[in-house]
């Protein structure tokens, strides 16, 4: 029966009973009393139904509603349907939740949900295995109290999660883990932990291979270089057509030696095995020396100015900083046409101590800039190779600056020139 029919029957029933009551009242003269009895009986019936409804909803474990008549039968039935629908969606939600739990548990990557203060709200089984977390003890603890590696703590706190951070597992130094945070909702974060030991080992094999090859090439190169030098020294005794080949052999050997040296430097920096060995370094003295060397390299073709605006010191490795700064200054000399101007500077700024090299050379197209620090990346392969660099200079600069907590920044405009700069914190 539809709801409207229940209500129709109810109204019809109430009207008929009231009409009969009125009729009897008219005949007997007790209209008020009879109507009072009818209303009281009707009210009592409703109160009883309300009580049965309350009992069914709160006390009874029965799924089905109690039997009733009239509109109450309709009300009981509607509530029953509503509950059945709720129960179904509850079951569906529980099923989805279970499936989600099972799938995240089966994930090879660890997943940890962090709350507003960085406290652990939930983690899967892989996180337990990779980090040694314990679901009884560690839920609610701040993640940085459990993983205290400074690199990780800095990563969690600084708020820039674009790149993952790689550190050894807190339970086994031989396992390398990559952590990546994704922020969602307002203040929640999902921390994904991946075991990258295999990748790390492959990278190490590659680095060792490059280091070994470069090392092995040094001895034969030294021997060949020795013979070429002897030939160059006794050029007058050689027939004329040998002069050019001997000169070229000398140049190419020099180039191979710089390449091997740069490769060795780069693999040492990449392996990160050697600590920075920090001392107080005075960059203005370092830069003054480099500018003098640059003038020799330029052979008077450029105007090279040193803006010594500060004498502030920084903490770092003098040899590494010399290598980074000289790469930038010598590049400016090599990539700036004759009569160009090169400005080298060391100054105090709001962002920290700034080292910069500014030239008015060819400039670099915007699309090349993010790739300049890749190994062997050249803007114009033919031209740049002829200029004589190894293609490794800026890769070395990038690693050295990273080891000093800084990074290379580049502004450039084609036809106008380029500025290479970086910031450091001064010694307190």
Stretch that binds ligand ADP, among 79-87, 210-218, 277-285, 324-332 (CB under 6 A): 324-332
CB 324 within 8 A of CB 293: no
Which of 193, 393, 403, 404 touches ligand ADP by CB under 6 A?
A: 393
Distance CA 277, CA 290 (A): 22
**211, 217 contact by CB (below 8 A):** no
Pick between residue 115 and residue 391 the one whose CB is nearest to ligand ADP.
391
Rg of the chain on CA atoms, in Å:
41
* Residue 400 in contact with ligand ADP, rule: CB under 6 A: no
Number of residues that bind ligand ADP (CB under 6 A): 21
325, 332 Cβ separation under 8 angstroms: no
Question: CA–CA separation, 69 vs 228, rounded Å?
Answer: 114
Q: How far is the CB of 236 from ligand ADP (least distance, A)?
A: 34
**Can residue 379 be called a binding residue for ligand ADP (CB under 6 A)?**
yes
Q: Which residue is nearest to ligand ADP (CB)?
A: 389
Q: Say how many residues make up the chain.
A: 428
Q: Is 314 in the site for ligand ADP (CB under 6 A)?
A: no
Cα–Cα distance measured from residue 132 to residue 171, given in angstroms and rounded to the nearest whole number: 6
* Residue 389 is a binding residue for ligand ADP (CB under 6 A): yes
Residues of this chain, 330-369, that bind ligand ADP according to CB under 6 A: 331-332, 335, 359, 361-362, 364
CA distances to 1, 40, 79, 362 from 65, rounded to whole Å, are 17, 25, 8, 86
Question: For the window 20-59, what string marks contact with ligand ADP as x by the rule CB under 6 A?
Answer: ----------------------------------------
Q: Which is nearer to ligand ADP, 278 or 384 (CB)?
A: 384
Residue 339 Cβ, how far from ligand ADP at the closest point, in Å?
A: 15
Task: Considering only the C-alpha atoms of the chain, give the largest distance between any 2 of them, rounded to a whole number of Å.
Answer: 155
Among 372, 400, 401, 422, binds ligand ADP (CB under 6 A): 372
Contact range with ligand ADP by CB under 6 A, out of 15-23, 176-184, 187-195, 371-379:
371-379
**Which residues are CB-contacts of 347 (< 8 A; sequence separation ≥ 6)?**
307, 309, 310, 353, 354, 356
Q: Contacts from 170-174 at CB under 8 Å and sequence distance 24+?
A: 170/131, 170/132, 170/146, 171/130, 171/131, 171/132
Q: Any contact of residue 323 with ligand ADP (CB under 6 A)?
A: no
Q: Which residues bind ligand ADP (CB under 6 A)?
A: 327, 331-332, 335, 359, 361-362, 364, 372, 377-379, 384, 389-395, 418
């Amino acid at each position: 029966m539809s709801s409207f029919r229940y209500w129709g029957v109810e109204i019809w029933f109430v009207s008929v009973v009231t009409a009969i009551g009125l009729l009897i009242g008219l005949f007997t003269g007790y209209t008020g009393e009879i109507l009072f009895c009818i209303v009281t009986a009707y009210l009592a019936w409703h109160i009883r139904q309300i009580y049965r409804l309350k009992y069914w909803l709160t006390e009874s474990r029965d799924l089905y509603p109690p039997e009733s008549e009239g509109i109450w039968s309709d009300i009981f039935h509607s509530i029953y349907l509503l509950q059945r629908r709720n129960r179904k969606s509850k079951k569906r939600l529980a099923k989805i939740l279970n499936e989600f739990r099972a799938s995240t548990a089966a994930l090879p990557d660890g997943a940890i949900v962090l709350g507003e203060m960085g406290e652990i709200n939930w983690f899967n089984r892989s996180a337990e295995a990779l980090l040694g977390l314990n679901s009884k003890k560690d839920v609610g603890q701040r993640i940085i109290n459990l993983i205290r590696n400074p690199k990780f703590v800095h990563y969690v706190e600084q708020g820039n999660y674009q790149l993952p951070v790689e550190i050894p597992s807190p339970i086994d130094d031989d396992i390398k883990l990559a952590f990546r945070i994704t922020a969602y909702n307002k203040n929640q974060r999902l921390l994904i932990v991946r075991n990258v030991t295999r990748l790390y080992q492959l990278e190490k094999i590659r680095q060792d291979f490059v280091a070994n090859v470069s090392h092995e090439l040094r001895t034969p190169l030294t021997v060949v270089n020795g013979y070429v030098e002897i030939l160059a020294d006794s050029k007058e005794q050689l027939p004329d057509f040998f002069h050019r080949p001997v000169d070229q052999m000398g140049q190419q050997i020099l180039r191979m030696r710089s390449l091997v040296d740069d490769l060795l430097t780069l693999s040492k920096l990449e392996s990160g095995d050697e600590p920075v060995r920090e001392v107080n370094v005075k960059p203005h003295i370092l830069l003054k020396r480099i500018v003098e060397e640059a003038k020799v390299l330029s052979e008077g073709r450029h105007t090279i100015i040193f803006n010594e605006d500060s004498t502030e010191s920084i903490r770092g490795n003098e040899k590494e900083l010399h290598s980074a700064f000289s790469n930038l200054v010598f590049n400016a000399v090599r990539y700036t046409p004759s009569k160009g101007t090169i400005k080298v500077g060391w100054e105090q700024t709001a962002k920290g101590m700034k080292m910069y090299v500014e030239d008015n050379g060819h400039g670099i197209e915007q699309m090349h800039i993010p790739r300049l620090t890749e190994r062997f990346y050249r803007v114009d392969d033919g031209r740049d190779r002829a200029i004589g660099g190894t293609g490794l200079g800026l890769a070395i600069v990038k690693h050295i600056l990273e080891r000093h907590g800084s990074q290379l920044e580049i502004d450039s405009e084609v036809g106008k020139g380029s500025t290479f700069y970086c910031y450091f914190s001064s010694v307190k």
